[in-house]
Amino acid sequence: MRCLIRGGAGFIGSHLAERLLHLGHEVIAIDDLSTGSMENLSSFRFHPAFEFHGDTIFNRRLMAELVDVADIVFHLAAAVGVKRVVERPVQTIETNVDGTAVVLQLAAKKQRRLVVVSTSEVYGKSNKFPFAERDDLVLGSTYNSRWAYGCSKAIDEFLALAYYRERQLPVTIVRLFNTVGPRQTGRYGMVVPTFIRQALQQEPITVFGDGKQSRCFGYVSDVVDGFLAVAADGSTAGEIFNLGNTEEISIDDLAGRIIRFTASPSSICHIPYSEAYGPGFEDMGRRVPDISKAERWLNYRPKHGLDDILRDVIAFVRAQIGKKQAVFVAPGARQESPVLNLGMPGAGRVPLQTYSRGARELDSSHSLPARATP
């Protein structure tokens, strides 16, 4: 099976690519490296079944060629991180909405299987917990750019489902809840790697707001399990699935746990939202997924608890600190611009192979169906 990953050099995209290669599939990744990193690809960039394109998703000609040769498309390319969203709302909206429109148009033309990655941010300020896929979405005022990300991803979902209904595009949407793990950077406001770096460097841990807000953190490998289960089941087309973990923790308690796990002398410093993100910023008090649909339909069961997740990320960040080309870069550290080697040895296109359903497994229980000849 040949798999195209948009956002393939990102935190989640690189883990998905690595898993697919391990399972014997061919992977084509495209990423403009605005938030992704070549370092994320270091363990498999020379794999003979891997092909990388350092280009924007708005290169329509290239995207058309890549979709044409793919059996399935995973659309992960998006603007990410609260800090980036607040500071660059135009880029956020254009990247999320226009970029998704491009992949939907191209996938519909060739009737390619498509998985669109969305976010728990679409639930907005809803006070109905836990969040279920058919719940109403409660977004804030358009005056507040903080909601641009959730709103743009909701538009992505509306558009994807419209393509499913009107043009029979086999598309499935997955909503992610605070996915964490190795390779995630704290550069754009991701809380776990940021807290861990601060703890390891014995700096104050900066908690925005009063610290009572709570989140549920899902491990990246568990989320990839969900991607593969969705992709392998054609009956999921036209559906939305929450993917994540249901173990809830306040941000203050998260900071305290990281301090204990790292044996750090760091203190906890609370910073008002207005100072961190500007006046008028709003946050969600809780973000808790209802994953019962994924459990019933996909047999989705997160395997990693928060303590396991934190230990893995602590080990990763500890190894990254001080590396010149680190995925994780501390504030103020200089990182050289990545050099794109698009002619990487072994990265050329290999002959397309298609497999009948069940012939090549994605994991122990899921396999991708073969593509019908156009």
Find, among 24, 72, 275, the residue nearest to 170 by Cα. 72
Query: Among the residues of 23-97, which ranges form H helices?
Result: 60-69, 82-87, 89-93
Question: How many whole angstroms separate alpha carbon 94 and alpha carbon 116?
Answer: 16
- For residue 197, give the DSSP letter: H
Token pair of 40 as six digits: 């994320």
143 has catalytic annotation: no
Q: How far apart are the first and last CA of the chain?
A: 16
Question: How many whole angstroms separate alpha carbon 180 and alpha carbon 219?
Answer: 5
Find, among 176, 184, 190, 158, the residue nearest to 119 by Cα. 176
Token pair of 59 as six digits: 């290169």
| Region for 250 from its dihedrals, namely left if φ exceeds 0, alpha if ψ lies in -120 to 50, beta otherwise | beta
Question: How many whole angstroms separate alpha carbon 144 and alpha carbon 13?
Answer: 29
Quick check: 321 and 201 in contact, CB under 8 A?
A: yes
Question: How many whole angstroms separate alpha carbon 363 and alpha carbon 16?
Answer: 12
- For residue 81, give the DSSP letter: -
State which H helix or E strand residue 154 sits in.
helix 148-167
Per DSSP, the residues of 302-364 read ----HHHHHHHHHHHHHHHTT-TT-SS--TT---PPPPP-TT-TT-S--------TTTSBSSS
Quick check: 36 and 9 in contact, CB under 8 A?
A: yes
Which residue among 123, 149, 163, 219 is the active-site one? 149
Q: Which residues are catalytic?
A: 149
